[in-house]
Structure 1
Amino acid sequence: MRGDTEVFNITVTDSAGAPIDLTGDIFTSQIRYNRDDSSIAATFNCTVPNPTAGEVRLTLPAGTSATLTSGSAFWDLQRNDAGVITTIIAGKCTILADVTR
């Protein structure tokens, strides 16, 4: 919802479902209105609260989400493990206009 603080908790696992140790890894996550847009619509704050449990937290502050335009957009989450970049998850999202202000 535009204007809301959005928080997503993701656990990164291997093919057997075991958490991957994320110690020292850096994560980035962005929203763009079109996949190939040069401009970024928003950037999530990414933290790793429990690296040995594979936990990543993405936060989009209310002030940032308030600037988004309603409609379709795309996002992804990328992991930088000592220079090896991997997209962990990606997809399309819908930005909804807020009703209560």
Structure 2
Amino acid sequence: LTTSCGFLASRQRELSARMKLPLATSSLLQLPMVERCLTAGRRAGVITYDAKALTDRHFVEVGADPGTPRVGLPPNGSLRAHIEGGRSYD
């Protein structure tokens, strides 16, 4: 089972403990694997909707390094305008 919002990563352990089927709350679950696939000295990074809302807890809950670089979408960008303001998006 999967969810539609990666921010549920902060509840991965709690939610998966209640499920009879495997549960993936977030694509952040892939970070530890991606990190191991990179050559020495390279790091994975995360582009997210809101970097301030993506806390260290989200990373810790999925077994990823809380020091993972992260950047949010620009506040005046097209995707935010579409999601928050209903602006058409092509």
Same-fold call, TM cutoff 0.5: no
TM-score (norm 2): 0.28
TM-score (norm 1): 0.26
Q: Which has the higher contact order (CA 8 A, sep 6+)?
A: 1
Q: Whose helix proportion is higher, 1 or 2? A: 2
